[in-house]
Chain A
Amino acid sequence: MDYSKFIGVLRNVPFDATMEQSIWAKIYRDVQKKNVRIFSFADLWPKFLVPAAALAVLALIFYFNYAQQIETRNFVQRICSTEYIYETCKYDGIWN
Chain B
Amino acid sequence: MLLKETADAFISGDLKALEIIYRETFKTIYQLVYRMTGDRHDAEDLTHDIYIRAYEKRALYKKERSAISTWIYRMAVNYTLNALRKRKRWSNEKVIDNSETAEVLIEHLENTELVAELLKMLNPDFKVCLIMRDVEDMSYDEIAKILGISIGTVRSRINRGRVQLKRLFKEYSRR
A contact set with B: CB distance below 8 Å:
1-3, 5-7, 9-15, 19-20, 23-24, 26-28, 30-32, 34, 36-40
Contact = CB atoms under 8 A, between A and B. Distances in A.
Nearest to B169: A1
A36 B55 contact: yes
Given A1-B106, A10-B115, A24 B22 contact: yes
A15 B31 contact: yes
A23 B48 contact: yes
A60 B118 CA distance: 69
A13 B34 contact: yes
Label chain A's interface by main secondary structure: helix
A9 B12 CA distance: 40
B106 A23 contact: no
Contacts, number: 80
Give the one of B19, B134, B166 with max A CB within 10 A: B134
Interface residues of B, number: 38
Given A9-B112, A15-B31, A23 B59 contact: no
Interface in B96-146: 106, 109-110, 112, 115, 118-119, 131, 134-135
Contacts of A28: 15, 19
Given A1-B169, A10-B135, A39 B59 contact: yes
Given A1-B169, A13-B31, A20-B26, A36 B115 contact: no
Interface string B48-60: 1001100110110
